[in-house]
Amino acid sequence: MNIRGFFNLFPCFRRKPTLRRIPGRYKVRDASFPMALTFRMNGLFPGQVTRTHPQWIEPCLKHPAAAPILPGMAVVVVQADNSVIPVDGTFVAGPIHGVAVRSYPVQSTIINGDGSTVSSTPQVDILREGYIGVPCVGVPAKEGDVFIWIAADAAPHKQGGFEAVASGANTVEVTNAKFNGPPDAQGNAEVVLTIADR
């Protein structure tokens, strides 16, 4: 059998097989189409644990009479009630218990077994040791001292908020925390927390 007879007997060998075209395999079009993202995500969010190791997160009870504890807020302990409250005007220079962690998914109310609801979550996760994003007033530097505004709110300062620069009697120093660098464009900075009694 000659070669022509071979191809007549097996027609599948008459032509070279063509490559199967897969959509998007040869061209990248997302750079020119309007579906491309034009903005990147923020570097930090208040209460975001920025490094998964090391971290020490502790669930704590929120004091029933305390103001809402927002993600990224510093908290101190009320020993009489075994609970935590946001830092207020009574805080003096020293260590904080920790910083409230941003929870996901967020649950604004709790439904009890009998159908009743609790208006605010009685439990809050607190970062005791690790790295966390916090809203900050000022421009901190790496290993910069951490201060908390204890005076009444005065824009842009918030009572219990983190500050990069001391401001007389308006701020107190936190002894178990340091800034880990300058803030992002939204004013959120990374804070390094350590356990106060170690």
- For the record, the structure tokens of 72 come out as 């990224």
CA separation (Å) from 60 to 10, 32, 98, 124, 129? Answer: 77, 49, 10, 5, 14
Cα dist from 49 to 102, 153, 158, whole Å: 8, 26, 21
Annotated domain spans of the chain: 56-193
- The predicted pLDDT at position 77 comes to 93
- Select 56-193's CATH number: 2.40.300.10, 3.30.499.10, 2.40.30.110, 3.20.20.70: 2.40.300.10
Residue-level pLDDT at 52 = 84
Per-residue pLDDT at 66: 81
Which residues of the chain fall below pLDDT 50? Answer: none
What pLDDT, on a 0 to 100 scale, did the predictor assign at position 124?
87
End-to-end CA distance of the chain: 90
Global pTM exceeds 0.85: no
Q: How far is CA 65 from CA 83, 85, 104, in A?
A: 11, 9, 24
Question: CB atoms < 10 A from the CB of 116, how many?
Answer: 8
> What is the four-CA torsion angle of 144, 149, 153, 159, rounded to 10 degrees?
110
